[in-house]
Every structure is written in structure tokens, then in C-alpha cells.
Structure 1
Amino acid sequence: MTPNADSAPSGPSRRSFLASTAVATAAVAGGMPLLAACGGSDTGSREGTTSGKAADKMLPTYVASTVAQPDLPSKNGSGAGYTGKVDLAALKTSVPKKLGTGAPIKIMSPFWGSPPKPGNPYYTALDAAAGTKITWQNQDGTTYGEKLGAVLASSSIPDMVVVPGWELVGKIANAVTAKFMDLAPYLAGDKAKKYPNLAAIPSDAWRMGIFGGALRGIPMPAATANWITPFYRKDIFDKKGWSPPKSPDEFLSWAKEATSAKAKVYACADMNWSAWSFFGVRPSGTLGWNIGDDGKLTYRHEVPEYLEALEWVRKLFDAGVVHPDDKARSGDQGQRFTAGQVLVYNDNIASWYGKTAEQAQAKPDFEIEGMDLFGADGGNPTLWASQPATIWSLIRKGASKATVENALAAADFAAAPYGTKERMLVDYGVEGTHYTVKDGVPVKNDLGNSQVLNAWVMLAAPAAYYAHPDFPDVARKQVEWQQRMGAFMKKTSTFGMNIVEPTRYANLGSQFEQLEIDYVRGNRKLSEVQAAISTWKSSGGDKLRDWYKELIDKNGSGN
């Protein structure tokens, strides 16, 4: 069985994470949030967040699953790890009786790749097992926001809709409150015990499902110790006698030694995303706000570390150690990495498994390793926690009781923990049709790879974990990396809050991503970045700070 994959609050390409083979069966990214900053009622303002006692009353009672205990329990915000083979003949059942009644439901979800045809063996088997009758309305994941916005603006909304956090901007964020129902009457407190797998989702993840003062979103939990990982070619490092760098200066020095333009080998890809971690820069979005030791509330690009990180990345480009295609932002840096043209690159931690599995047959000596994050001075890093959930499935307002109960039955089935029959079916499909078992390990065939992905795993997920029966050592390394890095984790003042900013600020910081891209490549001046920060403040940033200050004063700090 494969893991419910974690991703980060920001990264090279959130959509590319979900499209990778490593996360084709489950995916989570860094999210956004919501209440009324002052009111919080369902009919009041849709801006703000809900936390504290008001939120606690809406949450399901947490009942941990005891079906299969991990070999590596979660620690320091990590996912859990399963490093042994599962006895497939002794898989347990997490839901004693079928909860679905067969009432038809329509579900819209993002899909990366070519969606399978309706009525295929995977969908048929899942419906039969869960007691559901789902019509999937799969939409292209790369343009999902456009379709989502159009559907939410219409009068015809599917019974259930998957909403990723990165699409929670502008009118979509407010539509979530307006168009989706409060699930507390079905899930608050002990009511959730009817759905044991949903009850086993951690409370912090459920708290992120509060939109507009009501529990609307069924979450996909994520590890909070979850950062973009700087991966390096350990096989090449060992051959050359190199040790992983332990400071930005060491990295630059090593990069100059390792690069050979003549041989078309470059030290690294664009390291911007790891630079944020090296220099202790907060995530973008709502997590970027924090009250410092001086009592001042600042946003991520207002602190010195922001410019220091950008200047360091620019040094890499100026030194010629970054692959030319990365400078041009063309091609696939992951392919350049496996080809040995790039020795270090950034990616979601799920690629640890994805690249290992991908290269196992073609390059048996290939070895990928995650470089430990270091601080700007070579000491311990300052790392900021990711949100505990960032993708949700929601049920439309006005749905019948039968529709709601069947949607919850589907979500409960999808959230089955590792080591269960339900998880096996969700992740691998039907034995003999979608996979075969070799040496005790399930292996998908071509039909499995084309049908068993993207759909059911988007409805809900168990607490974050890693499990790769074919490469158990990779699962161990993923968990241990998160646990080591998690020891240096801090939480911003907005951690754990599902916040929706006022729409008037929706495009306030939209210029920064492109500006960062241009600056590190030498196409913009530092003074232009500084000017953009000043403009951000005067054109609404300072007023947005006041809004956040009031929100934190009313709801308490996330740290």
C-alpha cells in the first residue's frame, strides 16, 4: 500500500506534486483558511477564522484507529512510518458494516492525467464495497481553479466537490461558505463515531475544515513537519567522496567544485524553495504572518531573512552552478536529476519514493537522499510548520439526508488506515485486475496505473503516514528526515487557522513570485524587490496587518 502523501505549503509546483507517480494515489498541499473576523456566524461575514472553544464544539470526537500500529510513530510533526510488509491475507476491516445505501451522488474532483471511463472495474469495485453509487466528474487538475470558479458561480453544483487549498482565493474562498453545508449535525462530537475512519482523523486537521464559522470541509490530513526536500544523488556523492553541505557558504563552495559545464553536469537546480528553509523564511499565504519576540506582527517578506535567501540563490545563478534549463525554466528538473545532469534539486518529499521506484530497474546503483536542512550560519535551521490539512471535500447545501450520508460513507471508506482491506482497495484496486502480488508486495499493472489514481483518495485520508512495501527503507528515511527536521519546527501566529482574507487584498502580493524568479536570475535589481515591499505596505499591506492583528487578538495566536 502507498502512503497518503504530504506536500508543503508552498513549493516548486503544487500541481506537479500531485501529478507525480509518488502521489498519484494520495495528495495534500499547503493550505489556506476561514470565520467572520468579528462575527463568525453562517450568515455574517465570510472573512476571518474560527478557533478556540467556538471551533472545539464543532469538531468530531477523536477516536484513534487501532487497526495497525506504525513501526515509526509520528514525532515532531512527522508522518508515521510502516517499514514492514503487510500480510495481505490477514488484512483487517476498518468499517464492520457497509455504510452506504446506494443512493446516487455526483462528485467533482481534480484529476491529473487521463481520467478512466465511467463504470470501470476500479470504480465499480469501490462502489460495491462502500455501498455507494458515484458519478465522477473529474476535471483537469492543472486548470481546476477555472472550472471550480465557474461551477461555484452557477446554480448547478455537484453533490460533493473537492477543493484544494491553493484554489481558495478570491470569490472561490467566499463561495465555499455560501455553497456548502455545515456537517456538524452529522459529525460533531460523538456523532462521528458512526464513521470510525473520519473519527480517527486528528482534530487539528478537522479544525482546518471550518469555513465561515461552520464545519464544512472533510480534510486530508498532512504532516506539519513538511518542507520541500533538497534531494541529492547519494550514489554520485559517495563516488566523488563528497559530504552533503552544512551551510549556504559550504553549498556554494561545493557547487563550484561539482559543476562542469563542459561535461554538462551542474551542481543544482533552482534552489529557491530550499533557501526559504535555510534562511528561516516563513511560508507564503496566511502562514506568512507572525508576531515576533519584539511583539510586532510582520509578513514573510518584511524580515531580513527574505532578502538574504534571495541573494544567496542569486549567487548560485551568478556562479553558473545552476543548470541552464533551470535558469530558462524549461524541461523537467527531476529528469535532469535522474540523468545525472543535476546533482541536487528541490521536490516534495514524496519524490524520495517516486524516484527510487522509477529508477530501480534502469539504474540499480541510483540512490536519492534527502539533505538535512541547515541554518543560514551553518547551525540549526528555523523551520515553520505546515498546516495540518490543505485539501477538503465538501457537500453542497441543500443536499438530501441520503446524499449526505452516502457522501460521508464514501469519505469514511477513503480515510481507511494502512493495513486494512479498504485501504488496499482504494490504493491498489482489485487483485488480478489492477495488481498482482510478487514476493508479498502488490504491484500495479498498466490497468491499475491508469485507473487507480486521483479519485477516491481525494475524498478524505487517514493521518499522514508513509508505507512502501517494495522499498520500506525509503519510508523509514522519509519519516526520520521529518522527525529530525521537526525538532527545529516553530509555528507562526496563524498556524492551524483556516483564514480567508478580505477579497480587497486578494491580489496584493501577486507580483512577488515573478519578481523573485526574475531577481535570482539576474533580471531584476535588489532595489526593485525592496521597492515592491514598500509598495505592498502602502497599497494595503499595512491595512491587512491591522486586519490580522484584530483577528489574532480575537481568536488567539496559533503558536
Structure 2
Amino acid sequence: MTPNAASSASTGTGRRSFLASTAVAAAAVAGGMPLLSACGGADNGSRDGTTSGKNARKILPAYVASGVVKPDIPSRNGSSMGFTAKLDVGALETSVPKKLGKGGRVTVMSPFWGSPPKQDNPYYTSMNDLIGVDVQWRNQDGNTYDQKLGAVLASSDIPDVVVVPGWNMTGRIPSAIIGKFADLGPYLSGDRVKEYANLAAIPSDAWQRSLFGGKLMGLPMPASYVQNIVPLYRRDVFDKEGYEVPKSADEFTALCKEITRPRSKRWACGDMKWTAFNTFGVISGGEKALGWTVAGGKMINRIETPEYLEALEWARKLMAAGYVHPQFRLGKSQIGDPTPLFTSGELLIWNNDISNWYGVQASQITQNPGFKVWGMDLWAHDGGDPTFWAANPASVFAFVNKKASESVVRDVLAVANVTAAPYGTKEWMMTNYGVEGTHYTLKNGLPVKNDKGNNEVTNAFVMVASPAATIAHPDLPDYTKGMVEWQQRVGSFTRKSSFWGLQITEPSRYTNLADDFEQLEDDIVRGHKKIGDMQQAVSDWKRKGGDRLRDWYSELLDENGPAAS
């Protein structure tokens, strides 16, 4: 796949989905094992990063659904919207009838994966002309962005706009955000947002995630809150061999036994840890705050639950039985890209981000017409009704320098109002595909980027703000339908934990408290450590600060209440 978030026409995806659509996808989600994100903060016990309930309602922008374009499949149960029909490029709707930019200059620092294009390239100049703002990009290597971000925020030379992904909100970054960026409430709270119709159409949950220090500070990239890790499987091989999709952990294990034939170089699956967490109902580990919730009147962390240990043990048994491809026994740095193992049929089931459901199929369709990848519905381990835990509804944010003048802030909002245009509009098309004839051509009614488009129209403007979560693959409409309906089914069994949708800044003395748990999980699954080692680690975690952190979260919830209704 090209380093191009727009090629899949999917928006609002968070780190795992976003990286899956870039050149670093293989490194980020090798084996379907996403990296954990975290939040940290000043060592002062500050709870300023959390605002909910009545206080939030006073700050949040009014929600006004966009009527410009109607999705083919509406959002339901937290799913993305789906668009299956081909775009009539000659009849695209207009969502920004009046150019809101006043011609000022705005500097933007953002992570970038790949080689950034020159500033005066046709895509940047065309977008600037459409918006009416001279946007100057300070693109930084996405793989080392946290280092650059920390240095810039500690300096006096902060650009007008700084993009901060949720996975980079570690250490003292959240405190720096509160101290160095502007309150956008005077421009966007309540009915004020109606001046920017596309921003008004961003779901309120995503705006809730943009509250820092009791103020509306971030311009969000919305996401579906449904878990994004799908057990992808080779449906073509399943159909040929007569394999049935399992509906419980025992059925999955039996299927793995039936599939695995090492002498024929075929194994059932890759590392299934993340599917295990979902099917055993383990509280989310996507961000630190999501790992806490109230159950039975008590504040608990995911690592304290029996489901957490049961999921690890099940995933370990799959590995120990030899059902997992041996490449997954290696450490993350050695696994490499498992895609060829899946496409060649060496393994038939593979944890991966939902974006790869489409991505793998699209990459194989011309060279292997019989190839068909599909997503298994997530089951409950015991075959009953499952319980899944919601991810956060936004994970990437753009912030405006606190020292920016009103004219600069207005120009930034003009940029965001264009980049947040919904699928099927002229503004969306320009943001995601660039200029027809220069960056893309139409083939069978579908826009197809050329080399210039792939080099220039990539992870830049989409980082400033995005529309509501959308999946649109008109080249493979059945896949759009399959992905959205999968989200809707999983969403019907999805719960929101106590701190879902909130920005939480933990005291910095707890920042590294749980650093070793993901590695220990992997060591257990690979047979290098035992469940007893995890039980001891949890005991140590409690003693070293986990119990005090529990009290901190309990007080936080008492004072602020949850964001979810």
C-alpha cells in the first residue's frame, strides 16, 4: 500500500488504522498486535484534563448533522458511515460555498510518514487557493515525532498549529498542551460553530475528547469507537475446504487443529492475543484511562480481572499447540511483515486493523482474482453474548498556538472546515485526491492516483481536522458494506468504560507504572513467562502505586462523572 491515508477513503481511525494506511503499517501492526498508547501529566495530581457532564455541555460545539451528502449505510452502534456508490466527480456537492480564509499565512507542524513533498507542490498550492489561506508545512518524521514534539513545545518557537496524535501524549506533553495552546471555545462553543458547517457536523463525542484543562482546545480526527482489530480470514480457502467460522473459543481451537499442517507449510493463525482480549471481554487496553472502570461498585483495572489472565492463557495455548505460524514466536522486531504469509496461504487467520480488510483484498485482486479475505465476527469465548469495550472516539488532534492572533485562529478554522468536509464533496475530493489530471485520473468512474498524487496528496491536510468516521471503497462496495456491518454488529455488544471519551492526564509519578505489561503479555503468549509471573507483576503494580492510582481515578470520577450517558 502507498503511504496515503486517502487511498482507502477511510477517515477517523486513530493510530492503528492511520498507520495501517501508511508506509509504516507493517512495523506498527505486525502480527495484528497494535502498540499501546498512553497519557501522562505533571506530578501535581492535576485533573484539569477532564471535563464532563454539565460543564462539558457548556463548552462543546453544537452538533448539526451535515445534509450535503447522504451515506449509503448510516452509522449505527458507533460504526463508521459507509459509501458504496461510485463518485460522479463532475457532480460533487459543495460543502463550503464561501471561501472563509482571509489570505493569511499559517504554519503547521505535523507527523509525516515518507518523504515530505516540497512546499510549493501543486497539491499544497491548490488546497491553499481553495481555502484562502497560505498554509506552510513543517512536516516531521512520524517515527520520531515524539522527540521533535517535546523539543518544540519546550521552546519559544511553536508553529501556529501543532498536530498531536494521542499516542504521543506522554510525559509532560498534556500539561504543555494546556499551557501553550489556545482555547477555541470563543470561536466554536455552542452555536458559534455554525459558522463552520463541516466542523459543526463532527460528532460531539469527538469534541468531548478535545477538552483539555476545562477548555475546548483540539480540532479532532473522529473515529468509530468500535474495536478495530478484526480476525481476518481467507474466505476463499475456507469455502474450498469447508471450514466454518467459529462461534466460541473452543470452536476456534478445534478449527485451528483442523487447519494446521506444518509439513504442508500451513498454520491456522498468527498471534491471537488481541482477539483473545476482545472475545474474553477484557477491558480495553487502548489507552491507560480506558483500562479503568467501575464494576460491582469498585474501581478496577483490566489487569486485575480474571478475564485478562484467561485471555492470555488461551492465546498461549494456541501458540504452545503449534497452531500459530512459527514466525510469530519471534520478538516484534523480528516478525517482519506477515502479509505474505497470509496472502500465500501459510496462515489463514490474522489479527489486523479493519483497514487491512480492504487493503489486503485491493492489493491482491488484480494478481489473484480468486483471493477473498473477510472478517470473522467476534464471539464470546463461551459461545454466549459477548462483551466488548469501546475505543475512544478521536485520537489525533490539531492545536492552535496560544499566542496566535484572532485572524490566524480564524484562518486555521477555515482550513479545518475544508479538511472536515464529508465524503462526496468537492472539498473532500481535493483534500484526499488533489487535482484531477495532476494527481489522479478517472478509471471506470473511480479516481486513481498517479505517482505524483501518491507522493504529494498524503497525510498533511487530513491531519488538521476530519469528518465523521467514514468507510468508502466504491471499487469494492461489498467490502465497504462488510466492514461497516461488522462494526455495527460488534457495536451492538460494546460497552463504554467509566473514562471513555475523556482526556485524562495522570500524575507523572505513575507514567511508567505499567510500562512492562505489554512485553510480559507477549512473553506469556510465547511461552517465555508464566501466568504466575503476571500475577506477581500485578501484585507489584498495586504495591508500587496501582492502589494509589485507583484512589486517584475514583476521586476523578466522583468529581467529574463519566462522559458517556
With the shorter chain as reference, the TM-score category is: over 0.9
| 2:459 corresponding residue in structure 1 | 454
Provide Cα deviations, 1:374-398, integer angstroms capped at 9, x if missing partner. 1110222110111111110000110
| 1:290 corresponding residue in structure 2 | 293
Q: How far apart are 1:30 and its partner, in Å?
A: 8.8
Q: How far apart are 1:49 and its partner, in Å?
A: 0.7
Q: Structure 2 residue aligned with 1:415, among 412, 420, 441?
A: 420
Q: How far apart are 1:52 and its partner, in Å?
A: 1.0
| 2:434 corresponding residue in structure 1 | 429
CA distance in 2, matches of 1:178, 1:408: 20
Distance 1:21 1:537, change over 3 A: closer
Q: How far apart are 1:34 and its partner, in Å?
A: 9.8
CA distance in 2, matches of 1:92, 1:196: 14
Matched, 1:133 2:138: no
Provide Cα deviations, 1:46-74, integer angstroms capped at 9, x if missing partner. 65411111111111111111011111111
| 2:250 corresponding residue in structure 1 | 249
Q: Structure 1 residue aligned with 2:377, among 372, 377, 390?
A: 372
Q: How far apart are 1:102 and its partner, in Å?
A: 1.9
Q: Summarize the alignment of residues 54-203 of structure 1 with structure 2, pairs less than 5 Å apart.
A: 54-203=55-204
* Contact 1:385–1:491 (CA under 8 A) maintained in structure 2: yes
| 1:552 corresponding residue in structure 2 | 557
Q: How far apart are 1:33 and its partner, in Å?
A: 6.8
Runs of 4+ that moved beyond 2 A: 1-9, 13-22, 28-38, 44-48
Provide Cα deviations, 1:6-51, integer angstroms capped at 9, x if missing partner. 4468x6x9745654689xxxxx99976799999xxxxx94654111
2:110 alignment partner, SS class: strand
Q: Structure 2 residue aligned with 1:320, among 319, 322, 325?
A: 322
Matched, 1:308 2:307: no
Matched, 1:508 2:513: yes
| 1:486 corresponding residue in structure 2 | 491
Letter aligned with residue 232 of structure 2: F
CA distance in 2, matches of 1:52, 1:196: 25
* Contact 1:47–1:501 (CA under 8 A) maintained in structure 2: no
CA distance in 2, matches of 1:323, 1:145: 33
Q: Structure 2 residue aligned with 1:341, among 318, 343, 346?
A: 346
CA distance in 1, matches of 2:99, 2:544: 55
Q: Structure 1 residue aligned with 2:362, among 357, 360, 363?
A: 357
Q: Structure 2 residue aligned with 1:524, among 526, 529, 534?
A: 529
2:559 alignment partner, SS class: helix
Matched, 1:403 2:429: no
CA distance in 2, matches of 1:123, 1:98: 16
* Contact 1:33–1:208 (CA under 8 A) maintained in structure 2: no
Gaps of 5+ in 2: 1-5, 27-33
| 1:25 corresponding residue in structure 2 | none
Q: How far apart are 1:139 and its partner, in Å?
A: 1.2
- Greater shift after overlay, 319-328 or 296-305? 319-328
* Contact 1:34–1:498 (CA under 8 A) maintained in structure 2: no
Gaps of 5+ in 1: 23-27, 39-43
Matched, 1:5 2:11: yes
* Contact 2:235–2:374 (CA under 8 A) maintained in structure 1: yes
Distance 1:124 1:48, change over 3 A: closer
2:59 alignment partner, SS class: coil
Distance 1:558 1:214, change over 3 A: closer
Distance 1:90 1:15, change over 3 A: closer
CA distance in 2, matches of 1:5, 1:346: 21
1:340 alignment partner, SS class: coil
Provide Cα deviations, 1:331-354, integer angstroms capped at 9, x if missing partner. 112232122222111111111111
| 2:29 corresponding residue in structure 1 | none
| 2:301 corresponding residue in structure 1 | 299
1:470 alignment partner, SS class: coil
Q: How far apart are 1:438 and its partner, in Å?
A: 1.2
* Contact 1:281–1:300 (CA under 8 A) maintained in structure 2: yes
CA distance in 2, matches of 1:260, 1:382: 33
Q: Summarize the alignment of residues 216-295 of structure 1 with structure 2, pairs less than 5 Å apart.
A: 216-284=217-285, 285-292=288-295, 294-295=296-297
CA distance in 2, matches of 1:305, 1:6: 29
* Contact 1:225–1:386 (CA under 8 A) maintained in structure 2: yes
* Contact 1:229–1:274 (CA under 8 A) maintained in structure 2: yes
CA distance in 1, matches of 2:166, 2:93: 33
1:204 alignment partner, SS class: helix
CA distance in 1, matches of 2:303, 2:14: 19
Q: Structure 2 residue aligned with 1:542, among 521, 528, 547?
A: 547
CA distance in 1, matches of 2:244, 2:449: 36
Provide Cα deviations, 1:452-505, integer angstroms capped at 9, x if missing partner. 110011111111111112111111111100011111011101112111111111
CA distance in 2, matches of 1:105, 1:446: 28
* Contact 2:41–2:507 (CA under 8 A) maintained in structure 1: no
CA distance in 1, matches of 2:71, 2:18: 28
* Contact 2:438–2:452 (CA under 8 A) maintained in structure 1: yes
Letter aligned with residue 55 of structure 2: A
Q: How far apart are 1:532 and its partner, in Å?
A: 0.4
